[in-house]
Amino acid sequence: MYSSKITGLGYYVPENVVTNNDLTTFMETSDEWIQERTGIKERRWIDPKTDDTTATMGAKAAKIAIERAGLTKNDIDFIVFATLSPDMYFPGGGVQIQDLLEMPTIGALDVRNQCSGFIYALSVADQFIKTGMYKNILVIGSENHSGALDKSTRGRNVSVIFGDGAGAAILSRCAEEGKGILSSHLHSEGKHAKELVLEGPATQRWVPEIIENNDDSDLSYYPYMNGQFVFKHAVSRFSEAIIEALQANNLQKEDIDMLIPHQANLRIAQYIQKKFNLSDKQVFNNIMKYGNTTAASVIIALTEAWEQGKIKDNDLVILAAFGSGFTWGSVILRW
């Protein structure tokens, strides 16, 4: 049985910065209201005049990660692409990456686990490497939220939260014992699916129905979130996922060098930090700058933390996420 290790990291966010004050020009809200509830000060939204899409942002992040891993595109054996906002209903973004990077005809897999997407994608890649099937896997989380948000006052509770961006990691076979991914832990609870959901368009609510209804009051074509319900479950499941990862490896919370939580809400991260008695140096947050980038959030945060020298050799790092589905999980690794 092999082990896997992250050997390259990269991220890309659109240049277009949208501040909380910018939002006040087209919806009833305020910088104070948004920061108090979410901790977000600004986010990146794609400028339609650019070539940025979910796939192209993923490709830009991937090029950086591949270079930092000391590899070429021809060294990559497989692609795992996590997103809730693909450029097309089908095919998925993974094959677009294969084309955009002009890679050999390697396999490409899409993961649709929303905010938990990168955790799920990384765990899948880890299993492929552990079994010996592949040696180097490109794992991407990328999102274009701004193209499908209700940016009116009606949709502000959701729209102020989300941002666009992409991150990528190279997961490679590791020969060092005790290094790399130690374990991954995945969960779901489908009975709460409609508490954080975008119901249509989908095969049960397809284009003819949209045209026939022509009803501006029908919100099923925009994301819906039961904020308080999601918050309550998130803080509980985040904690469970972290504890599960520690216990599986006979570790204690005092052993944590860095926690990278999914950037859903700064208040959730602060709650978890306090519960585990972690210092500011042990938890990395960047939601203030980027908002919630869903499947891209963990990998963007991980990359920034590493770039800033906050993750060092032999550090114990935990990645944790919770989101729509409900799905949640954690990955624990020795850097």
Residues involved in catalysis: 115, 262, 292
What distance in Å separates the CA atoms of residue 61 and residue 84, rounded to the nearest whole number? 17
Q: What is the DSSP string of 68-124?
A: HTT--GGG--EEEEE-SS-SSSSS-HHHHHHHHTT--S-EEEEE--GGGHHHHHHHH
Outline where DSSP puts E strands in 130-285.
Answer: 136-143, 165-174, 180-188, 196-197, 224-225, 258-261
Number of Cβ within a 10 Å radius of residue 213: 13
Helices (H), the chain: 20-23, 31-38, 54-68, 93-100, 117-130, 156-159, 207-213, 227-248, 266-275, 287-290, 297-307
Nearest to 233 by CA among 324, 297, 294, 117: 324
Q: Are 29 and 23 in contact (CB under 8 A)?
A: yes
What distance in Å separates the CA atoms of residue 137 and residue 134, rounded to the nearest whole number? 7
* Radius of gyration for the chain, computed over Cα atoms and rounded to the nearest angstrom: 19
What distance in Å separates the CA atoms of residue 335 and residue 322, rounded to the nearest whole number? 23
What distance in Å separates the CA atoms of residue 102 and residue 107, rounded to the nearest whole number? 13
DSSP 3-state of 171: strand
Q: Name every residue whose Cβ is closer than 8 Å to that of residue 86 and which is 6 or more positions away in sequence.
A: 54, 55, 92, 93, 110
DSSP 3-state of 19: strand
